[in-house]
Amino acid sequence: MLVIPSRPLSFISSFNFPLQQFCSKTIITCMDSSITNSAANNCSREPNKVIGSGEVGISVEEWRGWGPTSTVPSMVTQVIEDLNLLEENVDAHMVFRGNHGKLSGDFKVQEDKKHRAKYQSLSDSEQKLQFFSARQIACRVLGSRGYLCQKCWLASGDCMCSKLITCPLWNRIRFWLYMHPKDFLRQNNTGKLLWQVFGVQAATLCLYGIAEHEEMMWDALKLAGKDKVWCLYPNKNAPASSVKDSMAGLSFAHVENHPEADGTHSLNFVLIDGTWSNSGAMFSRLKEQYKLMWGEEEIPCITLNAGASMMHKLRPQPSWDRTCTAAAAIGLLDELHDLPNFVSYGLDKQAKAIEDAVEVLLEALTARRLRMGRSITRKQRHNRDIV
């Protein structure tokens, strides 16, 4: 989630930065996208049973199908093994309700006791964060199998993949989607649109609290160097500069024909993708790692001048100086395009490609709400503009 409107925003800048089935006892109870209004309000319909072939883990193919480029994180694998072992030892099925990987029924009661005990037994905050993140992600993957489209994260009946148009991102820019586990597989998440449109090598998912993901991101940022990393986030406690102030002096003429495979000539932008209540902790973690790597207290900040995203119709932000992740990327690309040294790279067209994708997502979510008899407007969370 990121920028917005009536005044410039303070953003962080740090330039350096076959579906596998599961256990036969597992049941998913979630509403089908084509259900009627009455069924939408009644979750008593017969649950879907997904019968596995004896393999109860997540394959690399399935894992990457959801968006990550990594292998399956070791702690996510461990959490799934623990869930399956618990299911074997208790007289209850593993049941998920809804689309956020929420356990339900008797199994939830047993699993709650077990995971809380394990959490309390962990000795430090880092271990606790990694366990929390892994459990959230494991449950979301298991609870979304056979229900969500792996590419667009919408219910299969609402899949919008055929309407999305891909577009190559200029090869000197790389986005990192630093995503909170509770935003992973969220249907209204907009960060996913970046890799759907630009590809996973141009816009790479990094899950907060997953060691393998964070190591991968910081290794790439270290290779690029701290002068080629920015983090987009409205940090009001740090000095800010505009996109023009930060980028106007950059030149790429000497590297246009240089191989880009090692990433040393790429501009890396980290976008914090999570609710505003979670983003503060995510930003603090980025600052800590930045200090460990380069010995500096603050990540440089960039001010973006972006307008309100069309997604505000369904998902209003806490205040007028904040907007969704995709809108932040659009604003950045548009402002870069306005600079003479970036004007020849087609960044305006790349921004338009993401804007079109946001419109497709909004249409899909709106159609689903109407079909389910739900309101297509959301109560505003802010009472006044930020001044």
Mean pLDDT of 327-341: 94
Same domain for 237 and 114: no
Percent of the chain with pLDDT strictly greater than 90: 57
Are 15 and 245 in contact, with CB atoms under 8 Å apart?
A: no
User: Which pLDDT value is given to residue 303?
Assistant: 75
pLDDT band for position 91 (50/70/90)?
Answer: confident
Same domain for 206 and 126: no
Measure the CA–CA gap between 336 and 333, rounded to whole angstroms. 5
Same domain for 208 and 133: no
pLDDT tens, residue by residue, 111-163? 999 999 999 999 999 999 999 999 999 999 999 998 999 999 999 999 999 99
* 269 beta partners: 230
Choosing from 93, 108, 143, the residue where a domain stops is 143
Measure the CA–CA gap between 157 and 189, rounded to whole angstroms. 18
pLDDT exceeds 50 at position 50 = no
User: Which pLDDT value is given to residue 148?
Assistant: 94
Is residue 214 in some structural domain? yes
Is residue 180 in some structural domain? yes
Choosing from 143, 170, 194, the residue where a domain stops is 143
Mean pLDDT of 84-102: 86
Domain that holds residue 105: 60-143
Same domain for 72 and 218: no
User: Which pLDDT value is given to residue 332?
Assistant: 94
Same domain for 354 and 299: yes
pLDDT band for position 384 (50/70/90)?
Answer: very low
Same domain for 330 and 362: yes
Is residue 243 in some structural domain? yes
Is residue 383 in some structural domain? no
pLDDT tens, residue by residue, 285-312? 999 999 999 999 888 777 787 665 666 5
User: Which pLDDT value is given to residue 32?
Assistant: 40
Q: List the single range of 72-81, 238-247, 310-319 with lowest mean pLDDT.
A: 310-319
pLDDT tens, residue by residue, 228-240? 998 887 767 766 6
Q: Tally the domains of the chain.
A: 2
Measure the CA–CA gap between 333 and 94, rounded to whole angstroms. 44
Same domain for 245 and 139: no
User: Which pLDDT value is given to residue 172?
Assistant: 94
Are 276 and 182 in contact, with CB atoms under 8 Å apart?
A: no
Same domain for 202 and 99: no
Same domain for 324 and 184: yes
Is residue 280 in some structural domain? yes
pLDDT tens, residue by residue, 8-19? 334 444 333 333
Same domain for 96 and 176: no
Question: Closest Cα to residue 114, out of 94, 137, 140?
Answer: 94
Is residue 11 in some structural domain? no
* Token representation of residue 166: 């891909």
**CA-based end-to-end distance of the chain:** 20
Choosing from 143, 171, 186, the residue where a domain stops is 143
pLDDT tens, residue by residue, 212-231? 999 999 999 999 999 999 88
Rounded to the nearest integer, the mean pLDDT of the chain is 80
Q: CA distances (Å), 40 to each of 185, 315, 371, 374, 379, in order? A: 20, 21, 9, 10, 21
User: Which pLDDT value is given to residue 383?
Assistant: 42
Is residue 150 in some structural domain? no
User: Which pLDDT value is given to residue 52?
Assistant: 32
Same domain for 298 and 267: yes
Mean pLDDT of 199-206: 97
Same domain for 198 and 139: no
Is residue 168 in some structural domain? yes
pLDDT tens, residue by residue, 341-368? 999 999 999 999 999 999 999 999 999 9
